[in-house]
Structure 1
Amino acid sequence: MRQDLAENLLAKVMEWDTGTFAQEYARLNRLALLKYDEYQQFSPGRKFLESLGLWLRQFNSRDDRRTAYEWMLKRVVFVSNLEMRQLVESSYHDFVRPKLLASAAVKLGCRPYELAKIEQSTEFASAKRRSLFLGLSDGSRMDLFRRSAGLMNEQVWQAYEIGDFKAASFLSDLRQDEGEEASFESIFLVDDFTASGTSYFRMENDAPKGKVYKAIEQLRHQDRSKFTSSDCEYYIVLYVATQKALDHLKQHLEPYFSGLGIKPLSLSQFSLWPTKRSSPRMIRSTPTLCVWFHATNTIVPGRWIHTSSRAEPPT
């Protein structure tokens, strides 16, 4: 659609006079140029302004169109390809690596802030090698994740369905590096976005369903070969999530893990937006970037722990 036609359509649909159109168009054009035109699923021949005008046209009354327009300006959250790439590249360094450092510090018997000592230790190298990273969807971008984290091919897989052959290959490669009795001590399930959380875990007719359930069950199936250690820790790393999804996962995963004799998960999150707002955004939930859930096989009485204060943005 030609630019002038898109502008005329938008002005007509919103019933703007010349002055209002000039003011609003300047704002919309900046949004389009800086961000929204990057969206890759517009219909052929359309970009942001054209699609916005056609979307607003569906509303019958002027008041409804104005309400929808204000909603678009104030509540829609758009994560660009560049921003998503930054989340992928930083997730290991900001979330995974500190956990591996803490684990190595415990084995070394030193304080967590003795970073130079920990980073140069064989315990940290072993903790990193004994970690397995599985993607929950194509959006997890495991190729980029692996390169940015400096991980080996033998510990990263783009899917959570690894199968017996691949699992045996992972374990064989691990034991070549770490010894004949080695097992994976940390499992990271990685994905890009969840709005409701139901595709990860849900109950249907009193039976668990979802990607997290399938992944955990497959890993438990491999335990006859001691694929995971007795105190293996499980993590779910989400680049972007809504508070609605986090609440759903918290509610449903806790009894599931408890039923397996696994310590209930803890939740850490890092948000680019305030976690408290009067009008939540994106599917009636606050969008949260870089979230991880954690559970361990160690059978210890516990509860859900929200630890967002431990994952504040760096200053």
Structure 2
Amino acid sequence: MHDHNAAQLLAKVMDWRDLDAPPLFLPTLQLLADYKYDHYQRFGPGRRFIESLALWLDQFSPEDREAALELVTRRLVYFSDAEFTHLVSTAYPDLIVQERMRLVAEEHDISAHLVGKISRHARFNELRLKSLYLGLSDGARTNELRRASGGDITNEQIWQAYELSDEKADDMLKELKATLTDSGFKLEQPRFNLIWLLDDFSGSGNTYIRYDSEKRTFKGKIKKIFERLHRGDLVDPSHYEVFLLLYTATRQAIDHIEYWSERFTSEKGYKPLQVRVLCPIEPEISLKREPDPKIRALLEKTNYYDARATDKHIEVGGTSDARMGFAGCALPVVLSHNSPNNSIYMLWGPESYKPFGLFPRVSRHREF
């Protein structure tokens, strides 16, 4: 290991007597640190992964440190910034364009394999221009998506937030009309046909759509977006499609969003939401049914949790605490820009808490 001081600290915590003959996995761990973990954006200034790992392990009882280390070396799923950039770069050509081609083929009864005929059809270009892209969080990477489109998406079609003011909507529609006119499409009142809702990750799906059984009402971003779209100024109410494009999401979140959005849209008479995920996280990734007895025993211990992590936002997920993450997702997942609270608390606990997480999280919500 080239970071000798950090290696010595880790060896001391783990009680490894011979630093010159460390366990075989350490070179791999250092490689992953260089390639991914050192670049976690919520580490403090000068902090690197191996040092953070040693300080994190030191919080555990000596008999639990081996299981904690195995949790990291065998079960951690880390999405690097480069990996997210790759997902964003594939989103437009591999998914968005393909959906547009499918719609044109269905509208004009063209066989799906006649790619050239579909792409040359005027409707294909019209739908490109009449597509609106809205970011659902700061992880939506809207600028990266626009650049990855090779100029097919313009500044006037994309916005980094889903709550559009009337003034912004008016500006977008004016630009849409001008662009359509320049392209030879004469429309008195142009509206968007395709709405793309963009986000980087969903662990449970609750943020997007959920049902409050006490108040008998739906809540979440999807509800707000559909209500905004159906004010009639942005979309053509007789012809529109709404897509939720997630760069990565758990199968639990996908099932949740599809089920509750179908309930919501059918009840309100809206067009159904179509969910598209570039990199699904399958159920076996979750630690809910962890087969390793040592890791399972570690997760069951309550003394490695700070009760301050339980707040009104965690309670929305239906659990009494956040030990196993928001909504009990029990994920071992870390995102390069922030750890999701759907992961186990041991990974994301804030630095000011005791114990703190290996990849401390900065919450979107702040308690005063």
TM-score range, shorter chain: 0.7 to 0.9
Retained in 2: the 8 A contact 1:193–1:240?
yes
How big is the shift at 1:175? Answer: 2.8
Retained in 2: the 8 A contact 1:103–1:127?
no
> What per-residue deviation string (whole Å, max 9, x for no partner) do you get for residues 21-64 of structure 1?
252322221111122112221122211101111111111132x2
Structure richer in strand, relative to its length: 1
> What per-residue deviation string (whole Å, max 9, x for no partner) do you get for residues 160-214 of structure 1?
0111111122223223314114321111100111222222222343332222222
Is structure 2 residue 270 aligned with structure 1 residue 262?
A: yes
Q: 1:277 to 1:248 in 2, by over 3 A?
A: same
- In structure 1, what is the equivalent of residue 12 of structure 2? 12
Of the three residues 236, 248, 256, the one matched with 1:248 is 256
Give the TM-score normalised by the residue count of structure 1: 0.81
- In structure 1, what is the equivalent of residue 161 of structure 2? 159
Q: Could you tell me how far apart the structure 1 residues matched to 2:210 and 2:76 are?
A: 27
Q: 1:81 to 1:226 in 2, by over 3 A?
A: closer
Residue identity in the other structure for 2:197:
L
Q: 1:99 to 1:228 in 2, by over 3 A?
A: same
- In structure 2, what is the equivalent of residue 84 of structure 1? 84
Q: Could you tell me how far apart the structure 1 residues matched to 2:235 and 2:280 are?
A: 37
Retained in 2: the 8 A contact 1:243–1:286?
no
Retained in 2: the 8 A contact 1:196–1:244?
yes
Q: Could you tell me how far apart the structure 1 residues matched to 2:159 and 2:30 are?
A: 41
- In structure 2, what is the equivalent of residue 277 of structure 1? 284
Secondary structure of the 1:78 match is strand
Over the aligned positions, Cα root-mean-square deviation in angstroms equals 2.6
Residue identity in the other structure for 2:123:
E
Structure with the greater relative contact order (CA < 8 A, sep ≥ 6): 1 or 2? Answer: 2
How big is the shift at 1:279? Answer: 5.6
Retained in 2: the 8 A contact 1:108–1:123?
no
Retained in 2: the 8 A contact 1:242–1:286?
no
- In structure 2, what is the equivalent of residue 200 of structure 1? 208
- Pairs within 5 Å for 1:39-78: 39-62=40-63, 64-78=64-78
Moved over 6 A (4+): none
Residue identity in the other structure for 1:16:
W
- In structure 2, what is the equivalent of residue 299 of structure 1? none
Q: Could you tell me how far apart the structure 1 residues matched to 2:124 and 2:217 are?
A: 39
Retained in 1: the 8 A contact 2:211–2:219?
yes
Retained in 2: the 8 A contact 1:130–1:184?
yes
Give the TM-score normalised by the residue count of structure 2: 0.70
> What per-residue deviation string (whole Å, max 9, x for no partner) do you get for residues 60-98 of structure 1?
132x21111111112211111111111111111111111
Q: Could you tell me how far apart the structure 2 residues matched to 1:113 and 1:15 are?
A: 62
Q: 1:101 to 1:145 in 2, by over 3 A?
A: same
Secondary structure of the 2:249 match is strand
Residue identity in the other structure for 1:144:
E
Sequence identity (%) = 36
Is structure 2 residue 191 aligned with structure 1 residue 183?
A: yes
How big is the shift at 1:4? Answer: 3.1
Question: Which consecutive residues of structure 2, in runs of 5 or more, have no partner in the other structure?
Answer: 289-324, 336-368
- Pairs within 5 Å for 1:196-235: 196-204=204-212, 205-221=215-231, 223=232, 225=233, 227-235=235-243
Q: Could you tell me how far apart the structure 2 residues matched to 1:276 and 1:119 are?
A: 37
Q: Could you tell me how far apart the structure 1 residues matched to 2:29 and 2:49 are?
A: 9
Retained in 2: the 8 A contact 1:171–1:227?
no
- In structure 2, what is the equivalent of residue 142 of structure 1? 142
Q: 1:277 to 1:147 in 2, by over 3 A?
A: same
Q: 1:286 to 1:99 in 2, by over 3 A?
A: farther
Q: Could you tell me how far apart the structure 2 residues matched to 1:239 and 1:23 are?
A: 34
Q: Could you tell me how far apart the structure 2 residues matched to 1:229 and 1:78 are?
A: 41
Question: Which consecutive residues of structure 1, in runs of 5 or more, have no partner in the other structure?
Answer: 290-315
- In structure 1, what is the equivalent of residue 175 of structure 2? 173
Q: 1:240 to 1:219 in 2, by over 3 A?
A: same
Q: Could you tell me how far apart the structure 2 residues matched to 1:229 and 1:35 are?
A: 45
- In structure 1, what is the equivalent of residue 364 of structure 2? none
Q: 1:120 to 1:279 in 2, by over 3 A?
A: same
Structure richer in helix, relative to its length: 1
Query: More deviation in 205-214 or 88-97?
Result: 205-214
Aligned length: 283
Q: 1:250 to 1:42 in 2, by over 3 A?
A: same
Retained in 1: the 8 A contact 2:77–2:332?
no
Query: More deviation in 71-80 or 46-55?
Result: 71-80
Q: Could you tell me how far apart the structure 1 residues matched to 2:285 and 2:39 are?
A: 29
How big is the shift at 1:101? Answer: 0.7
Secondary structure of the 1:277 match is helix
> What per-residue deviation string (whole Å, max 9, x for no partner) do you get for residues 278-315 of structure 1?
7659953597x9xxxxxxxxxxxxxxxxxxxxxxxxxx
